Structure 1
Amino acid sequence: MKNSILALLAVAAMVACKKNETTAVDQSADSAAVIAPADTVMDVNDSTVVSDTSGVANSLSDQDKKFADAAAKGGIMEVMMGQLAATNANNATVKALGQMMVKDHGKANDELTKWASTVGYTLPAGLDAAKQKEYDDLKAKKGADFDRAYTALMVDDHKKDIAEFKKQAAEGKEASLKSFADKTLPTLEHHLMESKKAKNAVK
């Protein structure tokens, strides 16, 4: 009797051990199955994104690059000068013009930066020497002199901007950059109109 009870207990212990081993194998198999595909997918996606972006950046035409660089530097200057006008201008119309430039060109700069990030292109991060000099000269002016200088600059700059953006919209090769130029044109034309009004107000 004692022997048969011991034999039964031994069989039960063996069955329990086998169950545990099977569960452990199943769990490790499950976890391996989950981990392996996730790693593989991530690697494929990462390499695809890198090759795609560098491919687009390398295929940009000279016109695309020239426009993107000029638009980035011009946009930065418009925001910086607009901030000066919002605080330093005497005339309320000139102050309002500066505030509009900060808002609109800030938004356009964000869109251009997003485009550059998408295609893997590096934009200029600041002003070139010529634009820095223009900014420094304007910053040194006060009162009515500032108002006249700022509005004259805005009229001249926006005439040039409109010509550059029209050229890109017509001759650019990269589709999303062409679209950006085309979409921004009405805003620039509105800025030119408002700049002319402000210039006439401070003659």
Structure 2
Amino acid sequence: MKNSILTVLAVAAMVSCNKKETTTADNSSDTMMMTNSDSMTTLDDSATTAGTMGTENSMLSSQDKMFADAAASGGMMEVMMGKLAETNASSETAKSLGAMMVKDHTAANEELKKWAATNNYTLPTSMKAEHQKKYDELKMKKGAEFDKMYADMMVTDHKKDIAEFKKQAAEGTESSLKTFAGNKVSTLEHHLMEAEKAKATLK
């Protein structure tokens, strides 16, 4: 009888141990499944976010992106050169031309930044190499030589700008960027006219 009781107790103890091990294993399995599930959720969320960004950006044509980048870089150069003219120019003609460029191009740059934020597009935060080179060249000049070079640069640059903005207004894909470009043409034409007047005066 004693042996039977001991045997029953031993079997009960073994069953109890097996249950604990099974429970532990099950818990571990559950934990792993939850971790994997969480990881999948994170990846799915990331993929969805990346996909959304990609879709919005892919709506812009290569023309749109090229124009936006060039306009941002050129706009930065116009403002920086204008500030340089306000400080370094020896004539009032060059100084006032610089002040007008700073005012108008700062406003245009802000409009372009708002457009980029709305359309989930990242604009360049520094000038292109060609624009940086022009700025550096101008910065080295002083007095009448500075004034003449600045006026010359503004004439050349605004002729190029007008052509680029007209092209975007006609051939761009994104409607609000086309509108931005079209609306700025008259301002750029006014800048060109004033730059040509300054150039004639500063011969």
TM-score of the two chains, using structure 2 as the length reference: 0.74
CA distance in 2, matches of 1:178, 1:50: 26
For residues 138-177 of structure 1, the aligned pairs below 5 Å read 138-177=138-177
Is the contact made by 1:73 and 1:126 (CA closer than 8 Å) also made in structure 2?
A: yes
How many residue pairs get aligned? The number is 156
Is the contact made by 1:54 and 1:119 (CA closer than 8 Å) also made in structure 2?
A: no
In the superposition, relative to structure 1, how do residues 56 and 75 fare at CA in structure 2: closer, same or farther (>3 Å)? same
Q: Percent identity?
A: 62
TM-score of the two chains, using structure 1 as the length reference: 0.74
Is the contact made by 1:54 and 1:120 (CA closer than 8 Å) also made in structure 2?
A: no
Tell me whether 1:64 sits opposite 2:70 in the alignment: no
Q: What does residue 112 of structure 2 align with?
A: 112
Gaps of 5+ in 2: 1-47
Is the contact made by 1:115 and 1:177 (CA closer than 8 Å) also made in structure 2?
A: yes
Q: Deviations over 1:116-156 (max 9, x none)?
A: 00010011101122211111110010000000000000000
The one-letter code matched in structure 1 to 2:142 is K
Q: Deviations over 1:141-191 (max 9, x none)?
A: 000000000000000000000000000000000000000000111100000
CA distance in 2, matches of 1:194, 1:185: 14
C-alpha RMSD over aligned residues: 1.7
CA distance in 1, matches of 2:71, 2:181: 9
In the superposition, relative to structure 1, how do residues 49 and 169 fare at CA in structure 2: closer, same or farther (>3 Å)? farther
CA distance in 2, matches of 1:192, 1:74: 15
Aligned structure 1 segments of 4 or more residues deviating by more than 4 angstroms: 48-54
